[in-house]
Amino acid sequence: MDVRVTHSDLRGTARAPPSKSYTHRALLAAGYSDGATVESPLISADTRATARAVGAFGGAVAPADAEGAGADAGSDLTDADALAVEGFAGRPGVPDDVIDCANSGTTMRLVTAAAALADGATVLTGDESLRSRPQGPLLDALGDLGVRAESTRANGRAPLVVSGPLAGGEVAIPGDVSSQYVTALLMAGAVTDEGIAVDLTTPLKSAPYVDITLELLADFGVEATPLDEAGDALDGAAGAAGFSVPGGQTYAPSDGTYAVPGDFSSISYLLGAGAVAAEPGESLRIEGARPSAQGDAAIVEIVDRMGASVDWDREAGEIGVERADLTGVTVDVGDTPDLLPTIAALGAVADGDTRIENCEHVRYKETDRVSAMAEELSAMGAETTEEPDVLTIHGDESSLKGATVDGRADHRIVMALAVAALAAEGTTTIRGAEHVDVSFPGFFDAMADLGMDVEPDGAIE
């Protein structure tokens, strides 16, 4: 599906969707348990993939008020307020069929480690985009732990074959490719016999995503500890040289339930839209913004630094943002890679240069998001400079105009381009708009409710 977005003014209130990162982890953690209820989950294409994987291992996921959910219930999930998860008690069974992770990299990495616990072989695959993403470091780590973990094409990419069972042990892994490798090992390690000790061979990037994991594990009653170079415990993942998770633990959230917080990656598009397109004199309100371990909450401070008027009531979980003349800033996205598209879109509207640093790892997402934003914003009239680890948007040399741009089958690229389109002269056609379903189903409906002039491209059925 393509959509046309025309320069618009926004007003009103929108609610952020639940966190995709937390929902993935919560569904799998509930799968590791004897059973639990996940409240306020994000139901999206990606999280359905994780739900299907839980079913493939012998669990089941269904709306909490449903009766007799089957193991494949994940494929039939709708906008449930809560999901009842029948767990596999830390011992995943060997799946009857291949696990299709679709376009979800988080699902593939977390589920690859879970598959290592099964006493037999599991085959995992995904769509064309997912089959191009690196899994090699995680496969190598599992191999070092005594598990057969292979890429069928011997290139470190899916399809994967994983044969357990995993007993635990000590392993070294790079920290600068994907924090999801660490998350996968910690979540699986808690139910091994021996536990797992992880040594990082390179500094950890995207540390807040590991903090999300540590927070969620604690909520499920699971102990996992970040360690410094001396082996002493740290308060969080930032600066960690390694991690330790004892084995033989049981996943069991308090009162058998876990509530998913709002998603700050998704909030970034609403906040950015308000900063560039809120009706003059009006404050666009965003609900569902309660504090959590999410590093992407940094978008509030970034938009504030760029000059927008931002008011965050943390207790109420509500943000207000007013339109302003933005000024370029320098941002390090080493810990917040998912914010790059939003920051780039704002930089194209701002005065001066917006310099996004430490972003090479952002090239290994659903698409190379560094090049994608540079190229698509350039098509709209922005001036950019792309380096291996830096993206600079020259706002003073940019004048955004409507154009036809490609969302690259990437939900974050689509939504960031929609933010830029709000400030562009004329109408912008965004190709592949349906991909917002990965993390923010109903994004364009929510934006239309705020006043965005958006409609399906007439050339597309």
Residue 357 CB partners (closer than 8 Å, separation 6+): 330, 331, 332, 333, 334, 389, 390
Judging by beta carbons within 10 Å of its beta carbon (0-12, 13-18, 19+), is residue 253 exposed, middle or buried? buried
178 is in an annotated binding site: yes
Residue with tokens 């679709």: 102
DSSP 90-113: T-PPPPSS-EE-TT-HHHHHHHHH
Give the three-state DSSP class for 133. Answer: coil
Amino acid at 122: T
447: helix, strand or coil: helix
- Whether residue 33 is annotated as binding a ligand: the answer is no
Rounded CA-CA distance 42/263 in Å is: 9
Annotated binding residue 132: no
The helix (H) or strand (E) run that includes residue 237 is none
Joined tokens for residue 370: 């560094």
Across the strands, what pairs with 114? none
CA distance linking residue 25 with residue 325, whole number of Å: 39
72 is in an annotated binding site: no
**Is residue 412 part of an annotated ligand binding site?**
yes
| CA atoms lying within 13 Å on the CB side of residue 6 | 7
Annotated active-site residue 127? The verdict is no
Q: Please give the distance of CA 340 from its chain centroid, rounded to a whole number.
A: 13
135 assigned ligand-binding residue: no
The answer to whether the annotation marks 129 as part of a ligand binding site is no
Q: Please name which of 86, 245, 226, 59 lies closest in space to residue 166, comparing C-alpha atoms.
A: 245
User: Which member of 211, 296, 304, 338 is catalytic?
Assistant: 338
Q: What CA–CA distance (Å, rounded) separates 118 from 98?
A: 14
Starting at the edge strand found earlier in the chain, the sheet holding 453-456 runs 404-406, 427-431, 3-6, 453-456
Cβ atoms 372, 348 nearer than 8 A: no
The answer to whether the annotation marks 74 as part of a ligand binding site is no
Dump the DSSP string for 161-199. Answer: EEE-----EEEEE-SSS-HHHHHHHHHHHTTSSS-EEEE
180 in a known ligand binding site: yes
For residue 151, say whether it is annotated as part of any ligand binding site. no
Q: Is 4 labelled a binding residue?
A: no
- Strands 283-287 vs 318-322: parallel, antiparallel or unpaired: antiparallel
401 assigned binding-site residue = no
Q: Are 148 and 123 in contact (CB under 8 A)?
A: no
Instruction: State yes or no: 398 annotated in a binding site.
Output: no
Assigned token pair, 176: 């600068």
DSSP string, 280-304: TT-EEEEE-----S-GGGHHHHHHH
Express the helix, strand and coil content of the chain in percent, nearest 5 each.
35, 25, 40
- For the annotated binding site, the residues are 20-21, 25, 105, 133, 178-180, 206, 338, 365, 369, 412
- For the annotated binding site for 3-phosphoshikimate, the residues are 20-21, 25, 178-180, 206, 338, 365
- For the annotated binding site for phosphoenolpyruvate, the residues are 20, 105, 133, 180, 369, 412
Q: Residues with catalytic annotation? A: 338
